[in-house]
Amino acid sequence: MLLFESVDGLNIKPDGIYVDVTFGGGGHSSEILKRLGTEGRLFAFDQDTDALENEIKDERFVLINENFRFISRFLRFHGVKKVDGILADLGVSSHQFDSAARGFSTRFDADLDMRMNTGDTVSAYEVINDYKEEELSEVLFQYGELRNSRALSKEIVKARMESPVKTSFQLKEVLQRFLPKPKEHKILAQIFQAVRIEVNQEMEVLKEFLLQTPDLLVEKGRLSVISYHSLEDRLVKRFIQSGLFEGQPEKDFYGNVSVPFKKVGKLILPSAEEVKRNNRARSAKLRIGEKN
C-alpha cells in the first residue's frame, strides 16, 4: 500500500544503504532494489518465518529474520552504522491476514493466535483466557479504543470460567450481544486489533524502533512510515515533529528547539483508485521525515 509514494519518500540514491523493516511479501523491497545501482544495498527485517519464502535473490539484498525493534543491533552485526533511508509499513501483512490459521482475520474461524513471530510464547489465547478482567479491559480500551471495554472484558471472563475461549468464532459468539449487525465488523476489527497489538507489543516495538532512527540515519536521510490506525499514526506524527511521543521538546537558553527530523510534505493518503483495488488501504497514512 502506498508503494510508490513511500519509496519516493526515501529519495533514493543509487549507491545508498536502505532498510525495509517490514519485508512481508517483498513489494517495497523490490521497488527499492529497482532504484538502486550496483553499489547500493538493502537490508530488510521480518520476524515472521513465513516471510522467508519471499526472499529476493539479489546480492545487494539481505533479509534479517528478526523483529525491527533490534534494528541497530543487527545492522551493526552486518557492519552498518549509518543508512540513507528507512521504510516501515506497519501492522499486519496481507499474507498474515489471508492465512486463516494465523488467527488475524475476523473472517475465518481459527485458533486464537495472532503472533507475528510464531516462536513467541504469548498468543491471543493467553490474552483472552489468562489476563485479569482489569488487564483485559485496559487492553481493549487502550488499543481498541472501545468505550465499553469493561463490559466486554466482564463477558469474556464470565464465559471462560465455564470453558476456555479457543477460537476466533468462539470469541465472536461470546460477545455476540455487543455486536449489532450494522457495526459488527467494525467492532470485531477493533477487538481483534486490540488483542493483536497486545500480543505483539506493537506500541512498545514502534517506540523502540523510532527512537533508534535518528542515530542510524545520515544527515538528510529519510524516514518513511505507513501506519494504519490512530495510535500508530499519533506516535509517528509526534516523533517526526518533536523527537518525542508526548510533551514538548526543551528549548535552549535562546529559546531554540533542537529536533531530529523535519517533516517532508504533508500527510499522504491512498488514492481512491488504490482503495478501490484494496479495501485495506483505506486506513493507510504515510508520513515522511528528513534527518536534520
At residue 159, does pLDDT exceed 70? Answer: yes
Nearest to 16 by CA among 87, 89, 82: 82
Whole-angstrom distance, CA of residue 115 vs CA of residue 121? 9
Per the DSSP assignment, residues forming a β-bridge with 86 are 19, 223
> Could you tell me if 206 and 195 lie in one domain?
no
For 120, the grid coordinates are 513467541
Last-in-domain residue among 138, 167, 200 = 200
> Could you tell me if 77 and 208 lie in one domain?
yes
> Could you tell me if 80 and 161 lie in one domain?
no
Amino acid found at 291: K
Domain that holds residue 217: 3-94+202-291
> pLDDT digit string (tens) for 212-248?
999 999 999 999 999 999 999 999 999 999 999 988 8
- Residue 105 CB partners (closer than 8 Å, separation 6+): 97, 98, 168, 192
Last-in-domain residue among 152, 173, 200 = 200
Confidence (pLDDT) at 234: 95
**Domain count of the fold of the chain:** 2
> Could you tell me if 111 and 63 lie in one domain?
no
Phi/psi of residue 18, nearest 5 degrees:
-130, 160
At residue 97, does pLDDT exceed 60? Answer: no
At residue 95, does pLDDT exceed 70? Answer: no
CATH of the domain at 47: 3.40.50.150
Last-in-domain residue among 173, 200, 227 = 200
> Could you tell me if 69 and 140 lie in one domain?
no
> Could you tell me if 230 and 186 lie in one domain?
no
> Could you tell me if 162 and 284 lie in one domain?
no
> pLDDT digit string (tens) for 168-219?
999 999 999 999 999 999 999 999 999 999 999 999 999 999 999 999 999 9
> Could you tell me if 176 and 245 lie in one domain?
no
pTM listed for this prediction: 0.91
The whole-number average pLDDT for the span 254-271 is 91
Strand positions, DSSP E, the chain: 17-20, 41-45, 61-64, 83-89, 217-227, 261-263, 285-291
